[in-house]
Amino acid sequence: MDLTAGDIAAATRGELVGPTDAIATSMTIDSRVLLPGAGFVALRGERDGHDFVADAFARGASLAVTAVRFEASMPGATLVCVDDTMQALTDMAHLARSRVRDATVVGITGSAGKTATKDLTAAALGRTRRVHASPSSFNNEAGVPLTLIGAPDDVEVVVVEMGARFNGNIADLAVIAQPQVGVITHIGMAHAEHLGGRTGIARVKGELLEALPANGLAVLNAECDATDALARRTAARVIRVGRSATSDVRAVDVTLDGELHLSFVLESAWGTAPVVLGLRGEHQVENALEAAAVALELGVPLDDVAAGLAEARTATRRMDLVRTAGGVLVINDAYNSSPTSAAAAVRSLASLDVPGRRIAVLGEMLEIGDASDAEHEAIGALAAASGIDVLIAVGRQSERFAAGASGSRVSVLTVADRDEALEAVMREVQSGDAVLVKASRAVGLERVAESLTGAS
């Protein structure tokens, strides 16, 4: 939506400096991706956005929201000067939410699968509704406001991804987004170090459900053992999805082909329809069911839901499957990792139909706290039990991966970092092999996948 400099100054209680007629046709916190006409918000973090205000205007910014006065060095530029730029971004989000007050906001959180479920939900809705969804993984205190500000004025449904690293994060995001529909993918161990184990994770993810109005809707994963307790935390109506006969929206006859394409029959109160997913991996079943439940509840015909799910695509480095010129099948799932997503990735590698070996390049799963040793050993054991031929374990927890796989037929190589991982996989890989690359984002294993596929 368009925001005038005056709109922004009023919403943020800021001082407007320079031309007053400037209009921001979009908003960003990253000058590198700024589109001409966009507003730039100079946030302070690991890098200070104020160092890039000049670059933002050079790239065509219409205005900037800053906590530093630049008018002497930038004559003619439109600035909204505020005390706190992060608070200003939140204030702009409240303004944006008020402009789309008639739209339905769908909030999505969970320990893994948030981005895929967000993209599946947008696709399931998109054939009959005007939908705006958060780009990539815009799920924090900056990403959620940017999602709302980016929504067009005539939007009917806004799909917002919500992440959490600390208690209260989801509650704060819900105050901004005011969701009427809440989706929790599942409760796992991602960010357990900061959230107090799995119990703490359930507590903070459940903040979304507590924020829903009584006439709202909660969509929960019936396959997750935390669901019953989560359901008791909301006054909204609850729909459960899963593969069991008692699920409100369920999948039967689930099949996975040799290149991880997933199909199933969706059964619900709205009817039955075959679904072929546009996303790869059997772990996407529950994500797709949650997306379908949201769309069906919001009035999208079942056939359009199925067609939308088939068209869904998600962000890069999430189960990207690439066949190289040398005949190697590479799964680039290196965007991030947690015990749940790592297990799903290992099972996906085991499901691939390849004539050669299956090689797993697994890096550390970060921020899982006291359970780290046990969880890394569990993934190593799963790799062995799944028939993986070679395990290249990367980083500080490489020995724990190896311990889990000990005593099995899997060949285990432990390496210190991504450079050694690349050297190891290049020595091992042959035509006909399949290679999985999976790790937490900070490990940087996407470079390994990109080198294998020639994308670097």
Q: Which has the minimum average pLDDT: 63-77, 287-301, 421-435?
A: 63-77
Long-range Cβ contact pairs of 227-234 (< 8 A, separation 24 or more): 227/184, 229/202, 230/184, 230/187, 230/202, 230/205, 230/206, 233/206, 233/209, 234/182, 234/209, 234/210
Distances (CA, A) of 198 to 146, 155, 191, 205, 233: 29, 36, 9, 10, 17
Rounded to an integer, the average pLDDT of 162-175 is 92
DSSP 35: P
Q: Are strands 261-268 and 271-280 parallel, antiparallel or unpaired?
A: antiparallel
* pLDDT the model gives residue 136: 79
189 pLDDT more than 70: no
Considering only CA atoms, which of 89, 94, 67, 91 is closest in space to residue 79? 67
Q: Count CB neighbours of 370 within 10 A.
A: 10
Per-residue pLDDT band at 257 (split at 50, 70, 90): confident
Rounded to an integer, the average pLDDT of 247-269 is 94
Query: If DSSP codes are grouped into helix, strand and coil, which group holds residue 451?
Result: helix
Per-residue pLDDT band at 191 (split at 50, 70, 90): low
pLDDT tens digits, one per residue of 310-354: 999 887 778 889 999 999 999 999 988 989 889 999 999 999 989
pLDDT tens digits, one per residue of 114-129: 999 999 999 999 999 9
Q: Which has the minimum average pLDDT: 68-82, 164-178, 338-352, 439-453?
A: 68-82
Domains of the chain with bracketed CATH: 3-84 (3.40.1390.10), 100-311 (3.40.1190.10), 320-453 (3.90.190.20)
Q: How many CA atoms lie less than 13 Å away from 379 in the CB half-sphere?
A: 33
456 pLDDT more than 60: no
Per-residue pLDDT band at 255 (split at 50, 70, 90): very high
* pLDDT the model gives residue 198: 82
282 pLDDT more than 80: yes
SS (H, E, C) 180-242: CEEEECCCCCCCHHHHCHHHHHHHHHCHHHHCCCCCCEEEEECCCCCHHHHHCCCCCEEEEEE
- Residues 339 and 188: their CA atoms lie apart, in Å, by 7
> What pTM value is reported for the model?
0.90
* pLDDT the model gives residue 239: 98
* pLDDT the model gives residue 194: 64
Which helix or strand (DSSP H or E) is residue 177 part of? helix 169-177
Q: Are strands 104-109 and 157-161 parallel, antiparallel or unpaired?
A: parallel
Mutual angle of helices 114-126 and 302-311, in 10-degree steps: 130
34 pLDDT more than 70: yes
Per-residue pLDDT band at 197 (split at 50, 70, 90): confident
* pLDDT the model gives residue 449: 92
- Residues 403 and 423: their CA atoms lie apart, in Å, by 22
- Residues 77 and 64: their CA atoms lie apart, in Å, by 8
* pLDDT the model gives residue 135: 81
SS (H, E, C) 38-77: CEEECCECCCEHHHHHHHHHHCCCCEEEECCCCCCCCCCC
DSSP track, 256-271: E-TT-EEEEEEEETTE
379 pLDDT more than 60: yes
Considering only CA atoms, which of 275, 274, 280 is closest in space to residue 257? 280
Q: What is the mean pLDDT of the chain?
A: 94
Rounded to an integer, the average pLDDT of 246-260 is 93
* pLDDT the model gives residue 370: 87
* pLDDT the model gives residue 192: 60
Per-residue pLDDT band at 447 (split at 50, 70, 90): very high
Cβ atoms of 34 and 40 within 8 Å: the answer is yes
Which helix or strand (DSSP H or E) is residue 21 part of? none
Helix and strand element counts for the chain (H, E): 17, 22
* pLDDT above 90: percentage of residues in the chain: 82
Q: Which has the minimum average pLDDT: 170-179, 299-308, 434-443?
A: 434-443
Per-residue pLDDT band at 230 (split at 50, 70, 90): very high
